[in-house]
Each structure stands twice: as C-alpha cells, then as structure tokens.
Amino acid sequence: MPKSNLTPYENTPRDVVVTAIDYADGELFDAHTHQRGQFAYASRGVITVFTDSGNWVVPPQRAIWVPGRVLHSMQMRGPVTMLNTYIRPQAARHLGLPQQCEVLDVSPLLRHLLEKAVEIPARYALNGRDGYLMGLLQHEIAQMPVLPLCAPLPGEPRLAQACQRFLAAPSLEIDIDTMAAHAGMSRRTFTRQFREHIGISYLQWRQQACLLAAVVRLGNGESVTRAAVELGYSSPSAFATVFKQVLGEVPSRYFLNRKV
C-alpha cells in the first residue's frame, strides 16, 4: 500500500478521525510514521507491531497505541479488520496518552463508540452529537488499561541480534547458555547485560516473548495443546496457568468474542 495511504487525514482540522479497513492475512506495512498518534483496534484478527525498542502483539478485540512520529511496522496475522483512531499530538498530550507504544484493553463502551465513529465524516460538526461522541471516544481511549503484550528489545547490538533470532523461532527450551552463545558472550556477561539493557532477566523476557507467540497462534485458531507443545511448555495446563497469571483469563475465555 502506498505510504500516502498510511497517514490519512493528517491535515484534517479535527483532533480525532476514525477509519475502518479490512486487511488480508500476512499483509505487511514496512517501517513508517504518522504525525498523529494511532489507536489501532483489531475488531477481528491479530496484529503484530515492531519498533526498534520492542515487539507488540494485539489480540482480537484489543488495540495498540502508537504515538505520533514513532517509526513502526505492522503485520496482519490472519484476516484483520482494523478500526484506526488518529489523534493529533496536542490532543494526545492533553489526554495523557502514553509516550511509547502500548497494547491496551478495549471496554464494551469503547467498542461501541468506535463502531459509531467510523460512520462520522472527517469534518464533523464540533458542537453537536458527532463532536460530543468523538470527545467521549478520546477520553475513553485514555482510560484503557495497559496489557503486558510486549517483548522489549535491547539497544546493545549483540543482544538485539540474539533476541531477534529468538523471536523468529521462540521456545522455552532456548536456555541462557544458548542465548549467550548467540550473543557471543559468556553466560555471566550475558545475564548481567541483558538485565541492564532490558530491565528484566532473560528468563522473564523469554516467558513474555513465548506468550506473545502464543497469542498470535491462538488468535488465528490454533489449539492450546499445539501452541503449548511447539513453544516448549511442559503441558497445556502449565501453559494455561502462565497465560492466566499474565493476562487474567485462561486462553479459551480470553479469545471469546467479547462483542455485546
């Protein structure tokens, strides 16, 4: 898709504009930026987002906030319907929206607001129903809780290369010694620098990265058993326990269609 289509309504004299687009499985948008912040809601399908500082996974019925001018790429995992809310930087600052990418939950109210907002013209009347709805939409976005669906990437080149290698084929069976060898470091140096650059241990990061991979698989209909086995969990029940600890629900409930 041409880059011009990636940044719609940049000059529209409204704080917020909402669009809805269907994407094919595997569709990829190479690294790009928007002047406006982007709240990308996956009405269906799974979205993966990549930046120099980390990878994010957006399950169905959740969203990601990408601040304005943050260089990022996006890939669709399965057919995706995306409702995009583009918010001007000054409005995003006023709302207190994050200054970094974050995956966010989406309340039933916010889903309904988004579905109504796509029907509103870009140059809506500010003093009327459309303007008030868009105002409420912005404030509801700002209230959404953050979901732990990010695998941060280190700035240190050797660690970053090892982490990207892991993310290409994630597994709990990839131990510290293997990662240290991939980074060309001793075990002790690797563990020390990993925590210094990312802020968590490698084992914590590995669990987080495997969870992201599981969300992509489950979001596209793969069974819990297959995902658990291929990602190196000792059993499906062990995987479900970790999933619930991090995301608050077992996989079967988490991926229920939550529309009401």
Q: Which tens digit of pLDDT belongs to each residue from 222-237?
A: 999 999 999 999 999 9
Close Cβ partners of 31 (under 8 Å, ≥ 6 residues apart): 71, 72, 73
Angle of helix 202-219 versus helix 236-247 axis, rounded to 10 = 100
The whole-chain average pLDDT of the chain stands at: 93
Q: Which contiguous run of DSSP H or E holds residue 165? A: helix 157-168
Per-residue confidence band for 250, with pLDDT thresholds at 50, 70 and 90? very high
The first and second tokens of residue 52, run together, are 């120099």
Q: Is the pLDDT of residue 144 over 80?
A: yes
Q: Is the pLDDT of residue 259 over 90?
A: no
Q: Which tens digit of pLDDT belongs to each residue from 87-143?
A: 999 999 999 999 999 999 999 999 999 999 999 999 999 999 999 999 999 999 999
Sketch out the chain's domains with CATH numbers: 3-147 (2.60.120.810), 151-254 (1.10.10.60)
Let me know: does 71 contact 33? Beta carbons within 8 Å. Answer: yes
Q: Which residue would you say has higher pLDDT here, 70 or 246? A: 70
Q: Which tens digit of pLDDT belongs to each residue from 194-232?
A: 999 999 999 999 999 999 999 999 988 999 999 999 999
CA distances from 144 to 4, 108, 190, 218, 220 (A): 29, 11, 36, 23, 24
pLDDT of the residue at 220 = 87
Distance CA 19, CA 8 (A): 9
Q: Which tens digit of pLDDT belongs to each residue from 8-41?
A: 578 899 999 999 999 999 999 999 999 999 999 9
Q: Which contiguous run of DSSP H or E holds residue 215? A: helix 202-219
Per-residue confidence band for 256, with pLDDT thresholds at 50, 70 and 90? confident
pLDDT of the residue at 6 = 52
